[in-house]
């Protein structure tokens, strides 16, 4: 019984924290696909993907990188639901 209570008290905060985390789902895609995506400077995956954005923050941005293409930053507007980016090839010197 004591173990059950201990486990319950350890798990419940995580369940409630995840249930009340502010955020909206944003669909992210790039042309070409497979670009690495950062949200506010933190890697979140490769496109296409869906991410959760905390719109209670003052601002949010995405940064896209892919070998052979220029990096590209996109500032998100409040409650934006979708982002689609066409990457620009790097200039050959």
User: In the prediction, which pLDDT does 1 show?
Assistant: 63
Domains delineated in the chain: 22-86 (2.60.40)
Instruction: Write down the pLDDT at residue 9.
Output: 59
| Per-residue confidence (pLDDT) for residue 81, from 0 to 100 | 95
3-state secondary structure (DSSP) of residue 1: coil
Give pLDDT tens digits along the chain (93 positions): 666 555 555 565 555 544 555 689 999 999 999 999 999 999 999 999 999 999 999 999 999 999 999 999 999 998 899 999 999 999 887
Of 44, 15, 41, nearest in space to 27 by CA: 44
Question: For position 23, what pLDDT does the model report?
Answer: 85
Whole-number Å distance between alpha carbons of 79 and 1: 45
């Amino acid at each position: 019984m004591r173990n059950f209570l201990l486990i319950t008290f350890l798990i419940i905060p995580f369940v409630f924290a995840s249930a009340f985390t502010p955020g909206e789902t944003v669909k992210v895609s790039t042309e070409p696909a497979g670009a690495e995506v950062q949200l506010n400077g933190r890697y979140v995956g490769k496109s296409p993907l869906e991410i959760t954005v905390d719109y209670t923050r003052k601002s949010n941005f995405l940064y896209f990188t892919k070998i052979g293409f220029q990096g590209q930053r996109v500032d998100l507007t409040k409650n934006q639901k979708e982002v689609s980016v066409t990457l620009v090839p790097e200039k050959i010197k």
